[in-house]
A = this chain, B = another copy of it.
Amino acid sequence: MNDSQFSSKLLENAINEFAKLPGIGRKSALRLVLFLLRQSTEEVNNFGNAFIKLRNEIKYCKRCHNISDTEVCSICSNPKRDEKTICVVENVKDVLSIENTQQFNGLYHVLGGVISPMDGIGPNDLNINSLVERVSNEEIQEVILALSPTMEGDTTNFYIYKKLATSGRPVKVTTIARGVAIGDELEYADEITLGRSIVNRTLYQENV
């Protein structure tokens, strides 16, 4: 679709802005803009301001680096959470994914990425030092490494493990279980995952 064919610069500009988003092409952008044009002025003002407000006012929790409206996020400041367990994740999305499982009641630590020399991301680009500080200063008993089971994730796991081991204060370091995903057919599981799931087999429990 050629830009010059729009009769309105405002329309063209709005379409261009939508088309900058990942996964939204110019045709979808046009459809979304025409949808917004059918909404009331107030609704569109709310729409646009939601993102402006988010970008300008959002904070990152100074304790766990999670996205937050306040200096310390609602998870870190919740007295019902177990403050002795830290789950280390790559990004904010992973916090949401784990929260959605409702299986974890501890605190988080958002690294902001994983060590990836190919992308020029080294340990100092990540929130690793603040993790070591938390372990040294707070009464942490367990650090759960919940990074993706990729080369970069494993490298980062190993780096953090070494850092914590040499930091003086003993702490239990665990990783999330790797194994055959629930609902998957065994024959489609890759060899490494299947092999690991045999090595790391767990005691059979009824009703689990």
What residues of chain B lie closer than 8 Å to A45, measured between beta carbons? 52, 55-56
- Quick check: A54 and B14 within 8 Å, CB to CB? yes
With A37-B55, A37-B58 given, is the CB distance from A73 to B7 under 8 Å? yes
The SS class assigned to the A binding surface is helix
- Quick check: A9 and B99 within 8 Å, CB to CB? no
* Chain-B contact segment, one of A22-30, A156-164, A167-175, A195-203: A22-30
Hey, what's the 0/1 contact readout for A14-46 against B, CB within 8 Å counting as 1?
101100111100001011111111010100111
Closest 8 CB pairs of A and B: A48-B48, A44-B55, A48-B52, A17-B50, A14-B54, A10-B54, A48-B51, A14-B50
